[in-house]
Amino acid sequence: MLFADVLVSQQIKQLLINTVNHQRVSHAQLFLGQTGTHTLGLAIAYTQYISCQNRTETDSCGVCRSCLKYKNLAHPDLHFFFPNALTTKVKKDNESASFYNEWREIVTETNALFSLDDWYAKLEIENKQTYINKNDISRILEYQATKPYESEYKVFIIWMAEKIYAPMGHKLLKILEEPDGKTLFILISENSGQILPTILSRLQLVKINKFNTKDYTDIISQKLDYTPEEALEIASITDNNLIDAFHVDRRKVMEKENFNRFISMMRSAYRICYFTNDPKKINFHEIAVLIKELASLGRENQKSFLRYALTLVRKCILTNCGASELVKSSAEEAEWLVKFFPFINKENGDKVVNAINEAIRNIEQNAHAGILFTDLILLLGQLIQYGDKRLHK
């Protein structure tokens, strides 16, 4: 990762760059920043800069052999340690290395901006009793005793250092007390009060402060491509937590995708049932594309789509009941609701809700997604006809 991609103040970046250019790199440092700070990204950018074979005064080159290995998180002198536990996949002898594929994925997907809860979700850990454990500390001792392969330093990035298993702390302390000049430790923490005091006293502190509101809003506007007004709204609900801001963004993108899928599903259902005598008006290609897309989403996203569909159906029902003041919608949804709400009403509303709930239950029981969504579209078509007041006059 380049410094240019790290979302912290220029001042902190410059401070770290200076330590390299003035050969004052401290062998054990603590990067401290509250949840939602880009500390992990900063640690990767910093150690990549140290290892880069062609660095400039402001950043890594990004293209040398070392940078390319850093980009893939596959440099032989770069070691990550992070909280882990037994999981359904790793049933014994767990250590950070057991989860390196998942680690590489989450760091790459999020540009190293994710929370401990995101990490637990990735590992499907539920009870949250996680540690940087005995096996991890043994692994650090083992690597520490070897020479660097390619770089000047062996680098150990320890993410969430407050999770170091306390009874093993003294072993780590011993290495921190006796630097060999070839090892660089970057510990990352959100709460230095939970780090063993003896370890804390051996670390040089690099504190990463919150952005001020203006800088934070600018980042949201630039990185997530929002207008200044939208960025200000996201900034106000995420309180200087970049991870939350990115979550809000992903949710918004997902809602938009789900809205488009829902429109396509209802349009398909409508056409199938109203144009049975005139198949030219049925766009079978659109239906096939939609069903393939829905089938490929994965179970969690399929359920989230259907839950979103339920909220829109409820909005139709509320509007039909004369309670439209209770309906909060985006401009796009509101435009659609005006056209569509007459089709979901007291005649068929409960049946539509039941059909969608039934689909959610079937997904949970591993139903074949292609068949399930085909059936659902056909059923919705019948239900729309059933609720069409023009047909019952």
258, 260, 264, 270 alpha-carbon torsion, rounded to 10°: 90
Residue from the set 37, 39, 60, 183 that interacts with Zn ion by CB under 5 A: 60
Q: Stretches 20-28, 59-67, 156-164, 376-384: which one binds Zn ion (CB under 5 A)?
A: 59-67
CB of 60 to Zn ion, least distance (A): 5
CA separation for the pair 327, 137 (Å, rounded): 55
Q: What are phi and psi of 187, to 5 degrees?
A: -95, 140
Q: Stretches 61-69, 89-97, 228-236, 292-300: which one binds Zn ion (CB under 5 A)?
A: 61-69
Q: Stretches 50-58, 101-109, 227-235, 291-299: which one binds Zn ion (CB under 5 A)?
A: 50-58
Closer to Zn ion by Cβ: residue 78 or 377? 78
Residue from the set 8, 32, 43, 52 that interacts with Zn ion by CB under 5 A: 52
Q: Stretches 62-70, 97-105, 130-138, 210-218: which one binds Zn ion (CB under 5 A)?
A: 62-70
67 belongs to the binding site for Zn ion (CB under 5 A) = yes
CA separation for the pair 306, 27 (Å, rounded): 52
Longest Cα separation, the chain: 89
Whether residue 360 contacts residue 306, with contact meaning beta carbons closer than 8 Å, is answered with: yes
Task: Give pairs for 265-270: CB < 8 Å, separation 24+.
Answer: 265/290, 265/294, 265/309, 265/373, 265/376, 265/377, 265/380, 266/340, 266/380, 266/384, 268/377, 268/381, 269/377, 269/378, 269/380, 269/381, 269/384, 270/343, 270/381, 270/384
Closer to Zn ion by Cβ: residue 2 or 363? 2
CB of 143 to Zn ion, least distance (A): 23
94 to each of 77, 135, 159, 185, how far by Cα in Å? 22, 7, 17, 22
Closer to Zn ion by Cβ: residue 67 or 242? 67
Which residues have CB under 8 Å from 252's CB, separation 6+?
A: none
Residue from the set 61, 176, 200, 282 that interacts with Zn ion by CB under 5 A: 61
Closer to Zn ion by Cβ: residue 150 or 335? 150
Closer to Zn ion by Cβ: residue 66 or 238? 66
Closer to Zn ion by Cβ: residue 60 or 258? 60
Whether residue 204 contacts residue 19, with contact meaning beta carbons closer than 8 Å, is answered with: no
Closer to Zn ion by Cβ: residue 61 or 219? 61
Closer to Zn ion by Cβ: residue 75 or 261? 75
CB of 54 to Zn ion, least distance (A): 5
CB of 48 to Zn ion, least distance (A): 7
Closer to Zn ion by Cβ: residue 45 or 107? 45
Q: What are phi and psi of 369, to 5 degrees?
A: -65, -40
Which residues have CB under 8 Å from 99's CB, separation 6+?
A: 82, 84, 90, 123
Closer to Zn ion by Cβ: residue 54 or 201? 54
363 belongs to the binding site for Zn ion (CB under 5 A) = no
Residue from the set 20, 25, 64, 219 that interacts with Zn ion by CB under 5 A: 64
Q: Stretches 58-66, 190-198, 268-276, 380-388: which one binds Zn ion (CB under 5 A)?
A: 58-66
What number of chain residues touch Zn ion (CB under 5 A)? 6
CA separation for the pair 238, 251 (Å, rounded): 13
Instruction: Determine the 3-state secondary structure of 131 from DSSP.
Output: strand
Q: Stretches 52-60, 90-98, 260-268, 368-376: which one binds Zn ion (CB under 5 A)?
A: 52-60
CB of 65 to Zn ion, least distance (A): 8
50 belongs to the binding site for Zn ion (CB under 5 A) = no
Which residues have CB under 8 Å from 144's CB, separation 6+?
A: 154, 156, 175, 180, 183
Whether residue 267 contacts residue 61, with contact meaning beta carbons closer than 8 Å, is answered with: no
Q: Among residues 168, 159, 69, 59, which one has the least CA distance to residue 119?
A: 159
Site residues, Zn ion (CB under 5 A): 52, 54, 60-61, 64, 67
